[in-house]
Chain A
Amino acid sequence: MWNRRKNLLLSSLSLLRHISSSPHLPRLHPLKPSHLLCPSNSFLPPIDSQLRNNLLDLPRCGFPRNLSSSNSCSSCWNCGAVGPTSGAFLACGSCGAVQPVDASVDYFQIFGMKKMYEIEEGDLEGIYKDWQKKLHPDLVHSKSEKEKGFAAEQSARVIDAYRTLKNPLSRALYLLKLEQIHVDEEKTVSDPDLLMEMLEMREAVEEAKDTQSLKEIQSKVKKKLDSWSNSFKEAFNKQDFDSAVNCTQRMKYYERALEEITKKL
C-alpha cells in the first residue's frame, strides 16, 4: 500500500487528474494542477520493483519544484519519504539520503529564517554546522556516486548561503536580488560628499603610522557601517528600494576601507 502511494506520487500527474475521483487512490497532498509539469502523460502499467527503481532515478526536473514556499510534493529519491512541508529539503529525515539541489529554495529557507535583513547572526553557525553534518561530502564517501554528487552541490550551496547571510552587506544585496532589484554596477557615482569622505578616509588609512591610529579609524568606520546598515534595514522594510540601494553602496565603500585597514594591521 505504501509502495503504491509512493509510485503514484512519483509518476505522471495527469494520471492523478484522470483518476482523482477514484476510491482506490490514497489521499494525496493538495497540488494545484495548473502548476504541474507532467513528465509523461500515459497511464502506467502495474509497476514491478525494477521499473519502480528506474522511476526513482528519473530526473526530477519535471516535478513542480517551482511551487513557491511549499515543498509538500518533494519526496526522497531513495526511500520515498515525503519532505518537510516547510523549510528546505536538503537531506531526507527518514533515510538520511542527500537530496539534489533545488534552486528555488533560497538561502533564508535553508537556514529556516524569515526573509528579512535583521537575523540572529549567532544562530547561523549552529545551523550551518548541523547541515554540514548531514551534507558534507566527506561524510558520504560510502554512498553512491549520485549521492556524493548531490552532497557536493548541497554542501557548497549551504556554504554560499552561510557566507552570504553572515555578512551584512552581502545579505543586504541578496535581499535586493530576491526582490528582483537590479543594481546597475556599471554606473559611476559622483556624489561629492560621499566621495570626498571616502577619499579622505582612504588617505588617512594610507598615512596612518601606527596600529593605534589605524584602530581608531577602524572603529570610526565600523560605526558608520553600522549606522548605514540600520538605514538599509529601515529603507528596505519600507520598500524604499532606491534608498536601500544607496545604503548598500555606502556600506560597500566602508567595507573596502575596513579591508584596507585589516591588510595594514
Chain B
Amino acid sequence: MLRLALKRSLRLGPAVSDTPSAAMVASRGYHERVVDHYNNPRNVGSFDKEDPNVGTGLVGAPACGDVMKLQIKVDEDSGKIVDACFKTFGCGSAIASSSVATEWVKGKQMEEVLTIKNTEIAKHLSLPPVKLHCSMLAEDAIKAAVKDYELKKAKAAPKQE
C-alpha cells in the first residue's frame, strides 16, 4: 500500500504504470538509481514525533510545491543515528534524494551527517541540473532533523535538574 501511495505521489513521465524500470529509463531519462529508489523504496514511514529520541525535519520547495519530511532516531548515549525514515510528496528525484538521505544517515554520528552535501546526493543519483534543488531539499531536511533533535534535547535537559 505504501508503494501504491508512493507511486501516486510520483510524477514520472507520461504515465505511471507497473512496467519494468527499463522502459521508464528509456522514455524519461531517469537514472537507474532514481528508478531503483522508486521501485524499491527504502525507509518510507513515520516515527512518533513526540518521541524524545526522534528528530523531525520538515522542508518544502515552494517552486514546485514539494514537501519532504525526514526523521531520525538517535541513540542518546552515543549520539549515533540508529534509524531514519522519510515521507516525500514530489517528483521522482525528490523522493529518491530523500530515500538516499535516509540510507546515508543511518549508523552515523549527528555531526557527521551535517557534512552530507547535496552535490554528493545529486552525483549519486546523476540528477540533471533542473533537479538539483531536490538534492538541496534532502540536505536541508537532514539538517532540520538534527536541529529539531538538538532543540528537543535542550528543552528536556533543564527539566531533569
Point out residues on A near B: beta carbons under 8 Å. 183, 185-192, 194-196, 198-199, 202, 206, 249, 252-253, 255-257, 260, 263-264
Residue of A at shortest CB range from B141?
A: A188
B89–A199 CB distance below 8 A: yes
- Which stretch (B27-35, B60-68, B98-106) binds chain A? B60-68
Cα A186 to Cα B133 in complex, Å, equals 6
A187–B62 CB distance below 8 A: yes
A185 → chain B, closest Cβ, in Å? Answer: 4
Cα A196 to Cα B5 in complex, Å, equals 18
Number of contact residues on B: which range applies? Answer: 20 to 34
B60–A190 CB distance below 8 A: yes
Cα A226 to Cα B87 in complex, Å, equals 28
Residue of A at shortest CB range from B6?
A: A206
Residue of A at shortest CB range from B57?
A: A190
Cβ–Cβ < 8 Å partners of B63 in chain A: 183, 185-186, 252
**Which residues in window 78-94 of B have CB below 8 A to A?**
87, 89
Point out residues on B near A: beta carbons under 8 Å. 5, 8-9, 58-65, 67, 69, 87, 89, 133, 136-137, 140, 144
Q: Lowest 4 CB-CB distances: which A-B pairs, in order?
A: A256-B65, A185-B63, A249-B62, A202-B89
| A-B contacts, 27 listed (Cβ < 8 Å) | A185-B62, A186-B136, A187-B62, A188-B133, A188-B137, A188-B140, A189-B60, A192-B58, A194-B60, A195-B60, A195-B67, A196-B58, A198-B65, A198-B67, A202-B9, A202-B67, A206-B8, A249-B62, A252-B62, A252-B65, A253-B60, A253-B67, A256-B89, A257-B65, A260-B8, A260-B9, A264-B8
Q: A198-B67, A199-B87, A199-B89 are in contact. Are A188 and B8 (CB under 8 A)?
A: no
Give the total number of A-B pairs whose CB atoms are below 8 A apart.
67
Residue of B at shortest CB range from A200?
A: B67
Residue of B at shortest CB range from A197?
A: B67
Partner of A188, one of B9, B89, B136: B136
A199–B133 CB distance below 8 A: no
B144–A190 CB distance below 8 A: yes
A188–B69 CB distance below 8 A: no
A197 → chain B, closest Cβ, in Å? Answer: 10
Q: A192-B58, A206-B8, A260-B9 are in contact. Are A199 and B65 (CB under 8 A)?
A: no
B87–A188 CB distance below 8 A: no
Cα A199 to Cα B8 in complex, Å, equals 15
Cα A256 to Cα B87 in complex, Å, equals 16
Cα A195 to Cα B66 in complex, Å, equals 9
Residue of B at shortest CB range from A263?
A: B8
Cα A263 to Cα B7 in complex, Å, equals 12
Partner of B59, one of A185, A195, A202, A260: A195
Cα A264 to Cα B136 in complex, Å, equals 29
Cβ–Cβ < 8 Å partners of A186 in chain B: 63, 133, 136
Residue of A at shortest CB range from B65?
A: A256
Cβ–Cβ < 8 Å partners of A188 in chain B: 59-61, 133, 136-137, 140
Question: Which of B62, B69, B137 is the most central at the interface, judged by chain A CB atoms within 10 Å of its CB?
Answer: B62
B62–A190 CB distance below 8 A: no
B85 → chain A, closest Cβ, in Å? Answer: 14
Cα A264 to Cα B8 in complex, Å, equals 9
A206–B9 CB distance below 8 A: yes
A190–B58 CB distance below 8 A: yes
Cα A248 to Cα B65 in complex, Å, equals 11
